Amino acid sequence: MLALTCALAARGQVHTEKIEYKHGDTVLEGHLAYDQSIQGKRPGVLIVHQWKGLTDYEKKRAEMLAKLGYIAFAVDIYGKGIRPKDNQEAAAEAGKYKQNRELLRSRAAAGLAVLQTRKFIDSERIAAIGYCFGGTTVIELARSGAEIAGVVSFHGALDSPTPEDGKKIKCKVLALHGADDPFVPAKDVAAFEEEMRQAKVDWQLIKYGGAVHSFTDWNAGDNHLEGAAYNEKADRRSWEAMKQFFGEIFGP
């Protein structure tokens, strides 16, 4: 009975830790999560934060993924300690990277390199997901030609500043989009579709009716940003779509 109790206690035990790493001279600090009761190699998932930087929200998502059996690493794009306090600061910080897509790609790649070196990681089965700013980032990571299995963008920007970069994409792409998102113009959605089509990428775009920006973020209301709101149905449906996508790209 004692052995059984110990075994049950160990099962599903999620371990988390801060990981400090560098990109050039910039010190970054990410959040690693995995189920330490699982033995052997397993797939990994890179998580890229929204415009306010790495917060408890992304850490919670990492732990949710760890419970599904993945090694999850929530990266830090901005730098250790850089956490915008309000929407104005967040817009300014995110803008630095949206205006410099090469920097954004290489900063994401630095986080990917950390995940690729974790113990028990199956380096052939890694995906990247991102929320809002992070959704934009993972598509840029794919456009860089990263050797990963797939990317999932949750309510990210779908603009296509350099359409020819679509030809560099080697992975599958899933974009989960609020059909009523006021921050993503129809022309950007059309540009994304055309880029994927012309580059012959294996891509999917799912739109959720009635959903606006930040539909997966249960803290969206705290931002006081018109056009951004949590949507329970879209959150649940998009999470299931992600899991189905992982089942396809990772296999059994």
Q: What is the CATH superfamily name and number for domain 15-250?
A: Alpha/Beta hydrolase fold, catalytic domain (3.40.50.1820)
How does 21-40 read in b/e, with b if 16+ C-beta sit within 10 Å?
bebeeeebbbbbbbbeebee
Separation of alpha carbons 69 and 172, rounded Å: 21
**How large is the average pLDDT for residues 68-73?**
98
CB 184 within 8 A of CB 214: no
3-state secondary structure of 171: coil
pTM comes to 0.94
Identify the residue with better confidence: 29 or 5: 29
**To which residue do tokens 């969206």 refer?**
220
Residue 4's pLDDT band, with cuts at 50, 70 and 90, is very low
By C-alpha distance, which of 175, 176, 243, 244 is closest to 209? 176
Q: What is the pLDDT of residues 8-59, one digit of tens each?
A: 344 469 999 999 999 999 999 999 999 999 999 999 999 999 999 999 999 9
Q: Is 47 exposed, middle or buried (0-12, 13-18, 19+ CB in 10 A)?
A: buried
**How large is the average pLDDT for residues 77-101?**
96
Output the average pLDDT for the chain. Answer: 94
Q: Residue 181 forms beta bridges with which residues?
A: none
Separation of alpha carbons 93 and 55, rounded Å: 15
What are the angstrom distances between the C-alpha of 109 and each of 52, 54, 104, 217? 20, 16, 9, 24
Q: What is the pLDDT of residues 117-127, one digit of tens each?
A: 999 999 999 99
Domain boundaries, the chain: 15-250
**How large is the average pLDDT for residues 108-124?**
96
Amino acid identity of residue 163, one-letter, is P
Tell me: pLDDT of 139 over 50: yes
Tell me: pLDDT of 241 over 50: yes
Separation of alpha carbons 223 and 213, rounded Å: 12
How does 206-220 read in b/e, with b if 16+ C-beta sit within 10 Å?
eebeebbbbbbbeeb
Structure tokens at 12: 């599903």
- Lowest-confidence pick of 10-19, 149-158, 171-180, 195-204: 10-19
